[in-house]
């Protein structure tokens, strides 16, 4: 059997471009024509390498999540919950970086509003966010066991509180709120944090994510 022609584009590079486009415009706000232009490939090449638009979106979210895992691990593995949570929330306050990385979070704003045809995408992102919430609650529980949080801390409620604030920051940043405004919100939130007092920490550079 004759072999097909080799792809004339870098798959990872094309996928990274799709990530940025979906991140800026959302799933339903991004057309196939937008993707073809941004990724610099033809429609047949897109379908051959990534499947349809929904399959491409899931692959883009997978790549986005994989790139952020290391950053989140660095943050959540800190011994101080106060430092970790402030760093986590600060990730969602920055203006668009010089290299064109959008603000906010793809897993939040990728499908904030969807028609019924996009319900499967919305459900997938919701499941991913729930998984992240569970991961955060488990880390809060460990901080409690380590004595960093009070022994009577309701870690499930506290985790939901943190994620709700994070999601609000995403929406505000996407709506044009200035980074310094959102950083003040984070600092105000941290004033009520139940964990031990500690020096605060600036958010790590996540522009490459």
How long a stretch of residues is the chain? 209
Average pLDDT for the chain: 85
**pLDDT, tens digit (0-9, with 9 covering 90-100), for 23-56:** 888 898 899 999 999 999 999 999 999 999 999 9
Tokens read off for 87 = 């760093």
The verdict on residue 36 lying in a domain is no
The verdict on residue 197 lying in a domain is no
d(CA 20, CA 55): 16
Between 197 and 10, the higher pLDDT residue:
10
pLDDT at 7: 59
Residue 208's pLDDT band (cuts 50, 70, 90): very low
3-state secondary structure 87-140: HHHHCCCCCCCCCCCCCCCHHHHCCCCCCHHHHHHHHHHHHHHHHHHHHHHHHH
User: Among residues of the chain, what percentage have pLDDT more than 70?
Assistant: 85
Residue 197 has pLDDT above 50, yes or no: yes
The verdict on residue 40 lying in a domain is no
pLDDT at 71: 78
Between 7 and 134, the higher pLDDT residue:
134
Residue 155 has pLDDT above 60, yes or no: yes
The verdict on residue 119 lying in a domain is yes
User: Among residues of the chain, what percentage have pLDDT more than 90?
Assistant: 52
The verdict on residue 8 lying in a domain is no
**pLDDT, tens digit (0-9, with 9 covering 90-100), for 125-136:** 889 889 889 999
Q: Lowest-pLDDT range, 3-12, 73-82, 93-102, 159-168?
A: 93-102
Residue 203 has pLDDT above 50, yes or no: no
The verdict on residue 120 lying in a domain is yes
Identify the CA nearest to 64 among candidates 26, 16, 28, 25: 16
**Number of structural domains found in the chain:** 1
> Exposed, middle or buried by CB within 10 Å (0-12, 13-18, 19+), for 61?
buried
The verdict on residue 176 lying in a domain is yes
The verdict on residue 54 lying in a domain is no
| CATH code of the domain containing 74 | 1.10.357.10
The residue range of the domain holding 148 is 60-192
pLDDT at 4: 46
pLDDT at 201: 47
């Amino acid at each position: 059997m004759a072999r097909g022609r080799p792809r004339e584009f870098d798959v990872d590079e094309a996928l990274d471009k799709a990530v940025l486009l979906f991140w800026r415009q959302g799933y339903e706000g991004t057309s196939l024509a937008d993707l073809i232009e941004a990724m610099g490939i033809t429609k047949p090449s897109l379908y051959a390498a990534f499947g349809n638009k929904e399959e491409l979106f899931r692959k883009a979210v997978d790549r986005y999540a994989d790139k952020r895992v290391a950053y989140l691990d660095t943050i959540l593995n800190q011994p101080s919950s106060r430092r970790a949570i402030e760093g986590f929330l600060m990730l969602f306050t920055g203006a668009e970086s010089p290299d064109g990385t959008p603000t906010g979070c793809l897993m939040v704003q990728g499908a904030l509003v969807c028609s019924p045809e996009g319900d499967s995408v919305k459900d997938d992102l919701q499941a991913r966010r729930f998984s992240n919430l569970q991961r955060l609650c488990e880390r809060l529980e460990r901080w409690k066991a380590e004595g960093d949080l009070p022994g009577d801390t309701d870690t499930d409620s506290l985790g939901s509180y943190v994620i709700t604030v994070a999601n609000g920051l995403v929406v505000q940043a996407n709506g044009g709120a200035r980074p310094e405004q959102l950083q003040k919100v984070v600092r105000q939130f941290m004033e009520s944090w139940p964990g031990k007092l500690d020096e605060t920490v600036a958010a790590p550079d996540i522009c490459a994510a």
